[in-house]
Structure 1
């Protein structure tokens, strides 16, 4: 990103094992009008899952919607959801390859997407189906982006979002500088990240999601209440830097996914879950649950754990109790002292499957009782 608000180095000692060569974390925080525009896709499509998070923006911007723009937002959101994606997250990931810092640059990237496509293809996030969707929806996407231009969305964003985001970033920066995320993340991934820098795109309109995009970047909202913002921004930084935590074509990973597919307890939670949560394939759910288990053990170590470190409460409350595989993997990690072992995640996962610790029919017994009971009514 060209407009960097804050950048600072965080010092910490290197840890043992594979992390001995790990990088020290550099943090950069950047407000972004372009990512915020993309993140409003579900809100402007009147999706009842998103509107409650941004009722004010829905009403104010909705009053300016043309029939064509409204129909385009709905088409983008419906097609994304039908194909198992979250529209805002998919748009943000796709356009992150454009490096567009202004609305005119975003429009130009949609009008002439060859360079964006090439950069996306060169990343680990390339997906043939997702790009086919982009091409099919490109007229609707251009309708939406040109509508943003016509209503001067950047002026609205400056008045509504930029000030609170900058104030929130100034508040949390001194606290984040006490931690070093990169060594533990690289240890569990078993590889170096693209750089030693984490770029936090401070998106005011991305709730309730954290969104991974190309490079060592992710989106999160820093304006949550003060008693929760550090765990949300810090915890999300760890979570999103872990995505994806493995090569999805690795035979060891495929064997573990087969466990989730064959386990009746996992399937009982997966089948029929609210599609707005995302994770609408078992592969996508396993990716997310692996990442959640990993971020929980790391965040407990460095002080960013969600729900005050109560892992059971986290997974009882999240997404209607969907993430039972995360809870099971987390329990195995704690039993096996995973972080202390120096193993990377795929090696650990493979060992759990080969030893029969992670097997169909054994997941429910690993899951804490509160999570097994499901969310409160």
Structure 2
């Protein structure tokens, strides 16, 4: 974008401000309330869905036409990044699924089946077998702390079971107190004995640490784990591959939590709207810059446009030689199994999801089971009450 500015708006410079995951919402709302918004934002999809419903973002359909409506990779729609009431509010940056990361050396050593064939029962058996046969190593790791990572990890299991928080086809009625939610919570409880003992406090970085330092043989995570392992733990990097999640044995779903994250323009008190629009279109139509973006965090940020995804330039990265199957699974193979709290089961945008994550409702529901020892049925009822409160407080957004 600064390349565009140097050519077209001398004196204008775009600067990046990075914000920790758990601090994004508070920072954004504070800046917007103070009438000093950033000129352009890139936030996780649940926050974007909430902001567009609140009327805080600028429609970008004119930019979509300039970028190219037909450029998206197969298996996705513009809606996945963010549309509301027929208007597009988010320009794609990437898609970013968490998958099942597996130490294939250990799976082979213990004679376990190919993880590509697993259902939940196979995953549970593998976690149990590894824990029992490998001293000082957990079989499996996911986040269980009161944080966003737990929300995202549990949501994948909920959606694999066919469950959801809200029914988008019925005015976003709460649908959480269900057999599907109970099934997902029960599975987490069954996995718990085979996780690291500190997992009930884990968030994003602790899950990465557990895998990269050899404390666990399997974990739910995005591509960052592989990038870090490549730098710090070469043998673990070489032995780890990413797989689509194990199938729910009843539904056959392999749902992941895929963040369709993009670029949004605050609509109010933003003096640089036209400059931002032109600079972003420049960046989005530059294959060179889009390839650089994907290469900056391999294989964590997946390409969104066909001309980038199929380019030889994108393949000019060491991971394509060392981890071709894993890269392909993150970039392409995951798309058929995409879901997220912002667009549950890909049935429509959910403007309430940002509030859900702001209060850590899913993570607290999980902790009712793994810490407070409530039954999954009790925890599901508690979560449903909390979700109903969010719906009631924000009914104005649902239209």
Larger helix fraction of residues: 1
Do the two structures share a fold, i.e. TM-score over 0.5?
Answer: no
Give TM-score, length-normalised by structure 1: 0.27
Give TM-score, length-normalised by structure 2: 0.26
Higher relative contact order (Cα pairs below 8 Å, separated by 6+ residues): 2
